[in-house]
Amino acid sequence: MKKFKKVLLISLSTVIVAGSTLVLLLQPIIALGQLPSYSGDNKFDWKKPAYDPSKKTVLIIADNKVTEMFDMLAPFYLFNTTGKLNVFIVAKEKAPVGIKKDLFILPQLTFHEADSMKLVADVIVIPALSKRDEKQDLILISFIKDHFTPTTKILAVCDGASTAAATGIFDGKPITCHASDFEMVRSHFPKPQWIQQVNVAHSGNLYSTAGVSNAVEGALMVINDLFGSETMHSAANDIHYPHPEILTNHLSTAISFGNEFTAVTKVVVEKNRRLGLLLQEGINEFEMVSIIDTYNRSFPKSFKCFTPSDATVHTKFGLALVSTGGNNTKDLDEVHVLSLDNKEAINSLLGSAEIVRYDTKKQYPIDACLERIGKLYGDKFQNVVKLMLDYN
């Protein structure tokens, strides 16, 4: 009996140690789904955005708790490139919007401020927000419904389809979302007509996209319908969109157990790097979120976004980025840099970290990131990252 207890104790200890080790090794995967709320002061220089009453208006809904960054900022960038639209990110609270651990944006308007300006929404964009089931924020839902008219175009991106479906506006209409979340989201909202194998589900003024990366096709389709193919192609060329026309056919392939095993194997076996992204004044929103969202899905040991002087940075189209993780870069293995205008200052800031550049060739940013991930970790793992982006 004593021998049995001893063997059992050893076995249990081994399991506990192995389990603890596995948890530590899988921290990059676990961290992907965690995003602490903003906890600093709210003393920012809140500036009212410029509004041109002669232009149509796009309202992009943000959730202060968390908003999927590519879903929100890819359309923000593309609509702004047209020069023909007022584009505003709107949130319930006058507080930072979480987009990544230690990285936030300041919404340009609150719902109340948008209402006080009597804005008429020509387009409403709904990214994936913190709620993906029936337990939606009723104030947010009411804001969308109050600003929807028979002429308003709604673009639901990725799992933003859950919020769009909760409004009832898509009842009986085609809608889609991320392939890996399709069954889960559909189970909560049975009234829309759920479809797959398309980048964008479209009926009248209602648009919805497959996962994450397909925000591009959704935004380009809306731009095309608003202003025609010349404006659409100009926006597509700005981001080096890799297709001559808007891609419509989509492989709706969910993440499988085999894909999950490939991801776990990468985390356990490979050397997981500590990544960084230098947030520079005037940073291109589309390039920034392409890099962060793609490399986040490569399960790095860590991914830190930082500014040169530990201050708020403004993007190309005027969004305020708030980084709360400090600017200590001594432990980083590689730092992604979009511009090397001040090379000496950047080198002194980054120390011995490898610099990954994006200013040497014109390429669709997601493709550039995936190409490098494939070289580092192989085609199999690259495909896992593509599936997580729903980039098929």
Architecture of domain 56-238: 3-Layer(aba) Sandwich (3.40)
Sole residue written with tokens 């192609």: 233
Q: According to the CATH classification, is domain 257-389 in 3.40.50.880?
A: yes
Q: At residue 9, does pLDDT exceed 60? A: no
Strand-strand pairing, 274-278 and 123-126: unpaired
Average pLDDT over residues 84-107: 96
Residues in the chain: 392
- For residue 332, the surrounding DSSP H or E stretch is none
CB atoms < 10 A from the CB of 324, how many? 16
Domain ranges of the chain: 56-238, 257-389
The pLDDT, as a whole number, for residue 103 is 94
| pTM attached to this predicted model | 0.91
- In angstroms, the CA 121 to CA 118 distance is 9
Q: At residue 24, does pLDDT exceed 70? A: no
For the record, the structure tokens of 289 come out as 């979120």
Top mean pLDDT of 26-30, 48-52, 220-224 is at 220-224
The pLDDT, as a whole number, for residue 18 is 43
| Phi/psi at 332 (5° precision) | -80, 140
Beta bridge partners of 60: 89, 125
In sequence order, the 6+-apart residues with CB closer than 8 A to the CB of 251 are 179, 197, 392
pLDDT tens digit sequence for 158-185: 999 999 999 999 999 999 999 999 999 9
Q: At residue 8, does pLDDT exceed 70? A: no
Q: pLDDT band at residue 12, thresholds of 50, 70 and 90?
A: low
> Distances from the Cα of 385 to the Cαs of 58, 71, 212, 388, in angstroms?
30, 16, 12, 5
The pLDDT, as a whole number, for residue 22 is 44
311: helix, strand or coil: coil
Sole residue written with tokens 């403004």: 314
pLDDT tens digit sequence for 276-320: 999 999 999 999 999 999 999 999 999 999 888 767 899 999 999
The pLDDT, as a whole number, for residue 110 is 97
